[in-house]
């Protein structure tokens, strides 16, 4: 299965809101500020989530990658299906100037599970170990301790 490693800034995204949303909804649109070439991946894939300033804390099942759109927050029929209420309130209030951030893609996530692993123990697709936390994403090999979904 394809795997990527990317970061989530805890000052911007509350992972407990994301996990809570998926307890009662089929999917979550998780915006990222980096471009991803969707055609380079086979879905579903695993996204290992490095919490900025810490280590990998979660694994997510990613079923698709979409271009970012404000409609993900503003279309009343769609938003409540793909966004936690708290994220929609933050968007409406424009907390931290969130509406004007340079969002590129939305990862369509259908499952998030706790998964702790040192970020530097991941290997990139060319099998070199990750030295720095991702600013965008790395295509990685799943670590040996990963049991899958």
pLDDT at 127: 83
Percent of the chain with pLDDT over 70: 100
Domains, the chain, with CATH or none:
3-141 (2.30.130)
Q: Please give the pLDDT value at position 96.
A: 85
Mean pLDDT by 10 residues, the chain (149 residues): 92 94 98 94 96 96 98 96 96 92 97 96 90 92 90
Which of 105, 90, 125 lies closest to 5, judged by CA? 125
Q: What is the pLDDT of residue 126?
A: 84
Q: What is the pLDDT of residues 68-103, one digit of tens each?
A: 999 999 999 999 999 999 999 999 999 889 999 999
DSSP structure class, residue 144: T
What is the pLDDT of the chain when averaged over all its residues? 95
Q: Which residues pair with 65 in a beta bridge?
A: 107
Residues 6 or more apart whose Cβ sits within 8 Å of residue 23: none
CB atoms within 10 A of CB 86: 15
Long-range CB contact pairs, 124-132, < 8 A, 24+: 130/5
Q: Are 112 and 51 in contact (CB under 8 A)?
A: no
Smallest CA-to-CA distance from 47 within 104, 102, 115, 126 is with: 115
């Amino acid at each position: 299965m394809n795997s990527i490693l990317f970061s989530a800034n805890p000052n911007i995204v509350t992972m407990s809101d994301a996990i809570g949303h998926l307890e009662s909804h089929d999917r979550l649109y998780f915006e990222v500020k980096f471009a991803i070439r969707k055609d380079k991946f086979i879905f579903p894939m695993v996204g290992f989530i490095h919490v900025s300033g810490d280590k990998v804390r979660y694994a997510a099942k990613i079923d698709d990658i979409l271009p970012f759109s404000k409609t993900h927050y503003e279309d009343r029929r769609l938003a409540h299906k793909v966004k936690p209420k708290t994220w929609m309130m933050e968007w409406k209030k424009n907390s931290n100037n969130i509406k004007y951030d340079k969002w590129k893609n939305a990862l369509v996530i259908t499952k998030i599970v706790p998964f702790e692993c040192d970020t530097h123990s991941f290997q990139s697709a060319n099998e070199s170990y990750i030295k720095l936390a991702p600013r965008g994403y790395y295509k990685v090999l799943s670590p040996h301790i990963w049991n899958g979904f």
